[in-house]
Amino acid sequence: MSDMPQNTGAFHNIYETTLEPDTTKSMLHEGDESGEGFMQRFEVAPGIQITYNDLKMDSCFRPIRFEKDFLQINHCLEGCYECELAGGAVSFLGEGDLCVDYLSKDKQVFLGSRIPLKKYRGITVLIEIETAQKTLDQGFQQAHISLEQIRERLCMDSRSLIIKSKHEIDHIFSELYSVDERIQVPYFWIKVIELLLFLSLLDGSAVCRPQQFSADISKRTQEVYQYIIENPFTKDTIQDLACMFGLAESSLKRCFKSIAGASIGTFVKTKRMEAAAEMLGSEPTLSIGEIGSVAGYENQSKFSAAFKSVMGVTPQAYRHKYC
């Protein structure tokens, strides 16, 4: 019998703990008026799956109740994911972050989720605790990995845990995004063991509970994000933006970084330079100094330095190479 209730979207098939006999991978697809997404799922070992997520849609969430207990480990490569928690608060998984969730058959942790930027790429490691523990005990006894101990230490009271981007996480997951197809499944098994050993050794100083924001702060901050996208040469300060969108400056800063994966200042600079790069190609009659002035730099050398820090080359070299 499937662990999934019927009449849900295709993506919720990832919570089935076995694929068809002799099948190690499957492709799942969903689409609606907001966009579409793809998930490629691999059966690594009994009770252990890895799924590649590439989502360009507002949401793929549907309520679900589990018949078994899972550990779900998500790594965000690009974009962000918003989860609605009990009480109406929301939390974000941002670029480079690792999130560990306990999905219990007795309790529904997430009430809803969204993809605020309509862009999310990442990996999900899904572990059905009972079956996976037997697999680990039989196939890797010397590691002494206890999934129950990991759950108790990292997901107390069924709460989520987010580990901010750090070298150890980047090392484990960066290699998973470019695995040769000929060795995928055995390589996944090695990386799952590495990941579980890493989680087994975590102490309290390495982890944090996810920051939570009200739904209203999240909505207004996303409006700020969209405003910057549409007005890359804006000269509005953070104080101006907070006032325009009815937010406390501190709330805007914290929530924006959770959504965009960068501070407002860094994000504005990046979008400004990307827009300037577009102008270098689309406005060949404008000098680099004139484009720099549009971007808010009266001094061409300062514009060139800022442009190179974001785009990797000077405006002159960019125009020569790409335009």
**Per-residue pLDDT reduced to its tens digit, 57-88:** 887 766 666 788 999 999 999 998 888 776 77
Task: Kindly state whether residues 24 and 150 are assigned to the same domain.
Answer: yes
Write down the pLDDT at residue 111: 58
CA distances from 156 to 102, 132, 162, 261, 299 (A): 9, 20, 13, 26, 54
Q: What is the CATH number of the domain that holds 170?
A: 2.60.120.10
Residue 293 placed within a domain: yes
The last residue of a domain, from among 164, 187, 206: 206
Q: Which amino acid type is present at position 122? A: G
Residue 64 placed within a domain: yes
Write down the pLDDT at residue 8: 40
Task: Kindly state whether residues 229 and 280 are assigned to the same domain.
Answer: yes
* Calpha distance 46→128 (Å, rounded): 9
* Calpha distance 205→44 (Å, rounded): 31
Task: Kindly state whether residues 61 and 201 are assigned to the same domain.
Answer: yes
3-state secondary structure of 128: strand
Residue 4 placed within a domain: no
Q: What pTM, to 2 d.p., does this model score? A: 0.77
Q: What is the CATH number of the domain that holds 262?
A: 1.10.10.60
Task: Kindly state whether residues 115 and 143 are assigned to the same domain.
Answer: yes
Task: Kindly state whether residues 112 and 160 are assigned to the same domain.
Answer: yes
Residue 67 placed within a domain: yes
Q: Look at 17-31, 129-143, 187-201, 290-304 and tell me which has the smallest mean pLDDT.
A: 17-31
Element holding 224 (H helix, E strand): helix 215-230
* Calpha distance 11→115 (Å, rounded): 15
Mark residue 148 as left, alpha or beta (left: phi above 0; alpha: psi -120 to 50; beta: remaining): alpha
Task: Kindly state whether residues 83 and 196 are assigned to the same domain.
Answer: yes
Task: Kindly state whether residues 263 and 126 are assigned to the same domain.
Answer: no
- The β-bridge partners of 56 are 36
Task: Kindly state whether residues 59 and 135 are assigned to the same domain.
Answer: yes
Residue 3 placed within a domain: no
Q: Please, what is the average pLDDT of the chain? A: 85
Residue 2 placed within a domain: no
Number of domains in the chain: 2
- The β-bridge partners of 208 are 162
| Portion of the chain with pLDDT greater than 90, in percent | 55
Q: Look at 92-101, 144-153, 185-194, 202-211 and tell me which has the smallest mean pLDDT.
A: 202-211
Q: Is the pLDDT of residue 205 over 90?
A: no
Contact 307, 300 (CB under 8 A): no
Closest CA to 32 of 64, 57, 6, 61: 57
Write down the pLDDT at residue 301: 95
Task: Kindly state whether residues 84 and 228 are assigned to the same domain.
Answer: no
* Calpha distance 247→220 (Å, rounded): 7
Task: Kindly state whether residues 190 and 230 are assigned to the same domain.
Answer: no
Burial degree of 199 (CB within 10 A; 0-12, 13-18, 19+)? buried
Residue with tokens 């309509």: 118
The last residue of a domain, from among 184, 206, 228: 206
Write down the pLDDT at residue 32: 74
Task: Kindly state whether residues 142 and 225 are assigned to the same domain.
Answer: no
Residue 5 placed within a domain: no
3-state secondary structure of 292: helix
Residue 1 placed within a domain: no
Task: Kindly state whether residues 131 and 190 are assigned to the same domain.
Answer: yes
- How many residues does the structure list for the chain? 323
Q: Is the pLDDT of residue 48 over 50?
A: yes
Q: Which domain holds residue 229?
A: 215-322
More confident residue, 107 or 105: 105
